[in-house]
Amino acid sequence: MAANNNIQISDLDFDSIKNNLKTFLRGQNTFKDYDFEGSGLSVLLDVLAYNTHYNAYYLNMVGNEMFLDTAALRSSVVSHAKLLNYTPTSAIAPVSTINLTVTGVTSPSLTLPKFTSFKSEAVDGVNYTFVTNDIKTVSVVAGTATFPNVSIYQGQPVSLSYTVDTSTNLSQTFSLPDVQIDTTTIIVQVQQSITNGTLSTYTLADNVLQLNDTSQVFFLQEGSLGLYEIYFGDGILGQSLIDGNIVNVSYLVTSGTASTGANNFVLLDSIGGTGIVNSLTSASMGGDQESISSIKYQAPKSYAAQGRAVTFEDYITAIQQNKLNFGIDSVSVWGGEDNVPPIYGQVFISIKPAGQYALTDNQKNQLIVDVIKPLSVITVQPTILDPDYTYVKLNVSVVYDQKKTTLTSSQISDSITTALQSYSASQLNTFNSTFSLGDVYSVIQQVNPSIISSSCKVQVQKKIYPTLDVSKQYILNYGVPLNRGVYSSGVNSTPTIQYYKNDIVVTLLNDVYIEEIPFPSSGVQSVSILNPGFNYSSIPVITITGDGTGATAVATVVNGQVTSITVTNPGINYTQAFLTITNASGDTTGSSCSAYLTLQGQYGSLRSYYYDGNNIKTVLNPNIGVIDYYNGIVTLNNFNPTNVNNSLGQLTITANPESTIISSSRNRIVTIDPYDPTSITVSVTAK
């Protein structure tokens, strides 16, 4: 057989391998029919190429699974993460808080046992079981026992027992047979033997540095198929078990986020009276088992953090992996030095919890004390800020061709609303997300091919819960420059508010509105000093020139320096204006003062008004707030409503953004409010 120098070995797919074999066979004369599909040689080449391809594919998959970045199987990813000392987060049981009142109790005290069951109302057609996770005892007063602020967790309690037998299970690893375990609820107790009922409680080991041969700890890891495994110490790192020990394990198996929002609970178990449940919060803060992509993302960061919180990523990782049962959607962290003005020595953290708007003060405190403080640098003070939501309100108009679809206009309208809501849920609703009108148009266009054209008006909203009957300042930062509006289409509020006339508790006005009054934009707003100069013996003359008329200003001199220049008349019709500073007559020493002008337009104001008995619009307070158009900030000063006319007590202030790209940074979240039916309005016209 002749030498063939053209043999290729780098191809991996079947056809290329077979072609390479044919190229190889061209170098010989004995078998010539390699090129014909019916030949016997072709069958042999098929076998060879198939075998080579098979091995190449297998090696490729083995190669993939060998690295955390490329592994596709959960067991491989988890195994790689294990080398980085990372245990994937389990499902987290959503928690709800209730007040439980039990009537008709005859005993002097009543105990609410662990795992007392409650049934929730249906969420998406499923009633979920919630259980208590600890024991509470209260005294009974007049036959009634009251359990305040009881936390109940969604899940089914499971208890298992294993007998230690090193002859059958050498590694003494006990697999827990449920995937959706909330591992924070695992309780492990070890009984000495079947005849000796002494129980010891073992805790989860999280720091091997503190372990010795008598530490009663267990270790947790995720095994194959996503099942969790527990194992015990070897007698050096943690106390080891001996044959005959009985390991009792209990935990909750939860449905994770599926039960978020469950409410209106009913007591299922009999605890010695009639239970009346008053729900304080609906179920929230649940989570699902950590996904493969999340493990790939978190494990190296957890390793890099080395159990310390120093960089932004350290904080984010530590908070997302908290052991406090808090399901967290998104975390934003920044240093106080980035604030305006800077606040040194502080780290600011903003957290969007799963299923609710903000953490309670108690939860924030728990996070700081139990999660952040043990990891952070000693002198750095963590501060948790609530997310600051900027809501986007969309007013969509769509023209569609009714010959191209079987859908009715209301079905098209519904599908556009649904598509925009899912865009909001997936693209917005987290820190550092960006709303873009272009994205909205592409979402609308993809809803149905019959949609010919669409237009969309974007407004931004802030929602506040004013403290009633207390005069306060509210600063609403929209995070985007605002357009100057006119009466009725500028900044306004919904719903109406109740307000005492002139802040005197005599006449209560039931329906008070807020509207924008734009300042005239053609005068001189202010003068800023660049250099105060020196040696002025008298006040210099300030002259304003430009294409408008009437603007005047006066300077104030202190110790020979011009400390300020005040506009006394803004003038009108300026599109550009210049400032000249001339020494007063007789002042030969003063020099070097320089300053610049700002034209009007940065600010507008808000006023409140009502309709009197004769339905005449009457101004209540001509200056209830200020609008800073450039910085997108609306400030309500001395705002003191008596009531907000909706059930939530929530006041919405709507403004028009100058740009339709709205970014969020730090603790700001841009979103479309899923709970507000007016947040997306769609009008559909048939062509």
Partner 1 sequence: MANTIQNRYSDLDLTFTRKPVSGDIALSTNDQAVIRSVRNLILTNHYERPFHPEIGSNISKMLFEPISPLTANYLQREIEDTINNFEPRVKLQQVVVQVAPDQNYYSAIISFFINNQVQPITMNLTLQRLR
Using CB under 8 A, list all residues that contact partner 1: 14-15, 29-33, 36-41, 43-44, 46, 49-50
Distance of CA 117 to the CA centre of its chain: 31
- Looking at beta carbons only, is 39 or 346 nearer to partner 1? 39
Distance CA 221, CA 231 (A): 8
Outline where DSSP puts E strands in 192-267: 199-204, 217-222, 228-232, 246-253, 266-267
Residue in 426, 432, 284 with CA at minimum distance from that of residue 354? 284
| Tokens (6 digits) for 169 | 């299970």
- Looking at beta carbons only, is 54 or 596 nearer to partner 1? 54
Kindly state the smallest distance separating residue 319's Cβ from partner 1, in Å: 51
**Residue 225: exposed, middle, or buried by beta-carbon count in 10 A (0-12, 13-18, 19+)?**
exposed
| Tokens (6 digits) for 162 | 């294993």
Distance CA 236, CA 240 (A): 8
Alpha helices in 310-388 (DSSP H): 312-320, 361-366
Pairing of strands 381-385, 346-353: parallel
Beta bridge partners of 636: 474, 625
Kindly state the smallest distance separating residue 305's Cβ from partner 1, in Å: 48
- Looking at beta carbons only, is 38 or 341 nearer to partner 1? 38
User: Is there a contact between 373 and 320 (Cβ–Cβ < 8 Å)?
Assistant: no
| Tokens (6 digits) for 178 | 């449920």
Kindly state the smallest distance separating residue 312's Cβ from partner 1, in Å: 50
Write the DSSP string, 227-248. Answer: -EEEEE--SSSSPPP-TT-EEE
Kindly state the smallest distance separating residue 354's Cβ from partner 1, in Å: 47
Residue 347, SS3 per DSSP: strand
- Looking at beta carbons only, is 15 or 612 nearer to partner 1? 15
**Residue 474: exposed, middle, or buried by beta-carbon count in 10 A (0-12, 13-18, 19+)?**
middle
Kindly state the smallest distance separating residue 18's Cβ from partner 1, in Å: 9
Kindly state the smallest distance separating residue 10's Cβ from partner 1, in Å: 19
Kindly state the smallest distance separating residue 29's Cβ from partner 1, in Å: 7
Kindly state the smallest distance separating residue 47's Cβ from partner 1, in Å: 8
- Looking at beta carbons only, is 50 or 578 nearer to partner 1? 50
Q: Residue 591: which residues within 8 A CB-CB, separation 6 or more?
A: 533, 534, 535, 583
- Looking at beta carbons only, is 17 or 544 nearer to partner 1? 17
Most distant CA pair in the chain: distance in Å?
Answer: 118
Alpha helices in 246-322 (DSSP H): 292-305, 312-320
* Residues comprising the chain, all counted: 687
Kindly state the smallest distance separating residue 5's Cβ from partner 1, in Å: 21
- Looking at beta carbons only, is 17 or 597 nearer to partner 1? 17
- Looking at beta carbons only, is 30 or 406 nearer to partner 1? 30
Kindly state the smallest distance separating residue 26's Cβ from partner 1, in Å: 14
Beta bridge partners of 54: none
- Looking at beta carbons only, is 13 or 503 nearer to partner 1? 13
User: Is there a contact between 129 and 306 (Cβ–Cβ < 8 Å)?
Assistant: no
